[in-house]
């Protein structure tokens, strides 16, 4: 997954990301930039973007950055996620820049920044995130046991 076309296909394969409206803007090995247009449906009761929407944007962007470096036949899946909301998410759109800090054989460590972008192009950092991504063989049988 090295081209923007491949990246768009990967994002479109996730129904939740499609529903939110997240779109990739740029891709390079170990790096992804994605955008989420802000609408009132993403707001919480205070009128700012819900932290869950921002965390989802960061999580998927970091996972996709790890996926660009994952061994053939493996998925990068979130094993651990940490977010720090620095300011309210207010603006026209959220822009997430995500990158791989260290790629490993079984785990990759990633970071991201989420920026609120205004109509005039000004950007404010609203969230920092980090995640550990597990690199799992794609043919591994999923745990389907019910509690």
Task: Walk along the chain (147 residues) and give the pLDDT tens digit of each residue.
Answer: 668 888 889 899 999 999 999 999 999 999 999 999 999 999 999 999 999 999 999 999 999 999 999 999 999 999 999 999 999 999 999 999 999 999 999 999 999 999 999 999 999 999 999 999 999 999 865 554 444
CA–CA dist 126, 115 (Å, integer): 5
| All domains of the chain in start order, with CATH | 4-137 (3.10.129.10)
Q: Cα 42 from chain centroid?
A: 16
**pTM across the whole model:** 0.91
Token pair recorded at residue 20: 């939110």
Q: Render the burial of 10-30: b for 16+ CB within 10 Å, e for the rest.
A: bbeeeeebeebebbbeebeeb
SS3 of the chain: helix, strand, coil, percent, to 5: 25, 45, 35
Q: Residue 53 burial (CB < 10 Å; 0-12/13-18/19+)?
A: buried
């Amino acid at each position: 997954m090295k081209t923007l076309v491949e990246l768009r296909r990967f994002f479109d394969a996730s129904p939740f990301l499609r529903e939110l409206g997240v779109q990739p803007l740029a891709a390079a090995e170990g790096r992804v930039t994605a955008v989420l247009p802000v609408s009132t449906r993403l707001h919480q009761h205070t009128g700012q973007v819900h932290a869950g929407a921002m965390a989802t944007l960061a999580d998927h962007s970091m996972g996709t950055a790890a996926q660009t470096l994952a061994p053939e036949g493996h998925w990068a899946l979130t094993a651990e996620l940490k977010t720090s909301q620095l300011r309210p998410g207010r603006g026209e759109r959220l822009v997430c820049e995500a990158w791989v800090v260290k790629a490993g054989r079984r785990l990759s460590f990633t970071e991201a920044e989420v920026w609120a972008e205004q109509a005039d192009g000004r950007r404010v950092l609203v969230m920092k995130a980090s995640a550990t991504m597990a690199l799992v063989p794609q043919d591994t049988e999923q745990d389907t046991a019910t509690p």
